[in-house]
Every structure is written in structure tokens, then in C-alpha cells.
Amino acid sequence: PLILSGIAHDITPYRLAEAALRESEARLRQINESQKRFVSDAAHELRAPLTAILGNLELMERFPQMPPAEREEALREMRQEARRMHRLVSDLLTLARGDGGVTVRNDPLPLGDVLLTAFEEARHLARGHDLRLGSLAQAQVLGDSDYLKQLALILLDNALKYTPPDGWVELELSVREDKAEFRVRDNGPGIPTADLPRVFERFFRADTSRSHDPGGSGLGLAIAKWIVESHKGSIWLESEPGHGTTPVVQLPLAKVSQASAR
């Protein structure tokens, strides 16, 4: 205690309050920094397709008599880049809604049915891949079927995007104690061990993916993580470079029924 004019003052509470204040200031600075980075990353990602569209537009304006084949190619590129921007903006809106604390539905759902719908939709993303449906246990969860389908599609899309067409991708759902667990295995290139801790960061892409660029933006897994967390679940990736990747999702079970294979 500090003795001031004969009165003992315990300054511990002030020290603690000061430390808490410093900590929250540091946290705010961190949030501010990451918001700034997010905005500049988003602007950067949007600029690339816009530049391509503007370049082609100028070309078409300057050469109105462009041969049909070249005109077709310019239009094809503009359409592709506009689609890329559209996807990016939808992803950014989903993340902004998540940041804004949007509440997701909490309906009782048979998770296997939701996964099956995503699996059927993913078929047209396969480019010759062996897309397999493993066993689907009966698992009732509480959640939002649209978001859970989007989650499964993000994982299936990644598996099909990064795995060469002669590879395989498998979806399975099991029940572990009080959790439903689904995995999307692939036998693709895997993720470098050093990159693994960063794959859920917004806009993060492993160098190996950038160099092949199958058209991702680096937001898929950030959205997946938000969906899982808003369902009180957990998600992680298991990956062995050169042998494949397996994202694993665990969600709390609403009701356990007997597991059955389909």
C-alpha cells in the first residue's frame, strides 16, 4: 500500500484498471488495423477484374471493326471477369453480414440431407474427378440449411478446384459422441505445412494455389469458419503436402439417431 498523509491507499485496483484499459486499446488498434487491411485487400481484388473489363471495353471502342473471333474473345473475358467480381462482392457481403452479427436460423435439420443437396450441386463442378459419397450417418443438428449447404459447397468446391481431374474427392458424415462430424477428403496437392495455420484468414491463399490460380479469392474458408462458429461448431483442416487435404467440421448434435450408411 502507498502511504499518503498517513492514510494507506491500495493502488492495486487502479493498476488493474489501467492494465485492462491498455489491453482494450491494443485490441481496438488491432481491430482497426485488420479492418484497414481488409478494405485495401478487397479493393485490390476488385481492381484486377475491373481493369480487365475496362481494357477490353476500350479495345472494342477503338476498333469497332474488330474480327468476330477477337470480339467474341473480348466479350468472353469481360463476362468471366464480371462473374468473378460478382462472386467476390457476394462473398464480401456474406462476411459483412457476419461481422454485423446477423443471426442465423436455428431449425432442427437432418444434416445428411443438407450435405446430400450440396453434393448433388457439386457434381457439375467435377472435371472428371471421382466424386464419392461415403457413409452419411443420421445426424440432427440445429441450424440454417442455406448456410450449412453453402459451407459444404465451399469445401467441396475447394477440393474439386485444387485436386487434379484424375483425383478423387469424398464426402462423409459420422456421429462422434454429441457431435456430427463431416469431412471432405481429397487426394490433391495438400497445403504446405507453413501455410496451414493461415488458411482461414480473409484473402489468404497458399502460394501454390496462386501460381496455378484456379480462380479463388481467398474468402471461402473465412466464410466457412464464420458459418461453423455461428452454429457453435468447430472446423479445422488436416493436410499432408503431396497427399491431400481434409477439412473437418464438427457441429453439436440436436438429437442422436442410429448411424446408417447410404
Q: Which residues 198-237 are close enough to bind ligand ADP by CB under 6 A?
A: 199, 204-206, 209, 216-222
- Residue ranges in 25-54 that form contacts with ligand ADP under rule CB under 6 A: none
Q: Which stretch binds ligand ADP (CB under 6 A): 52-60, 68-76, 102-110, 156-164?
A: 156-164
Closest by CA to 251, choosing from 171, 178, 200, is 178
73-76-80-85 Cα dihedral, nearest 10 degrees: 100
Residues contacting ligand ADP: total by CB under 6 A? 20
Min dist CB 114 to ligand ADP, Å, is 19
Query: CB–CB of 85/50 below 8 Å?
Result: yes
Would you state the cell numbers that stand for residue 28, as one nine-digit string? 481496438
Could you tell me the smallest distance in angstroms from the CB atom of residue 163 to ligand ADP?
Answer: 7
Q: Contact at 8 Å (CB) between 206 and 218?
A: no
**Which residues on neighbouring strands pair with residue 140, listed in sequence order?**
110, 255
Nearer to ligand ADP, 129 or 231 (CB): 129
Cβ nearer to ligand ADP, comparing 48 with 59: 48
Q: Minimum Å distance from CB 199 to ligand ADP?
A: 4
Q: Is 241 exposed, middle or buried (0-12, 13-18, 19+ CB in 10 A)?
A: middle
**Phi, psi angle pair for 77, to nearest 5°:** -65, -40
Among positions 161-190, residues that touch ligand ADP (CB under 6 A) are: 162, 186, 188-189
Q: Which positions touch ligand ADP (CB under 6 A)?
A: 158-159, 162, 186, 188-189, 191, 199, 204-206, 209, 216-222, 245
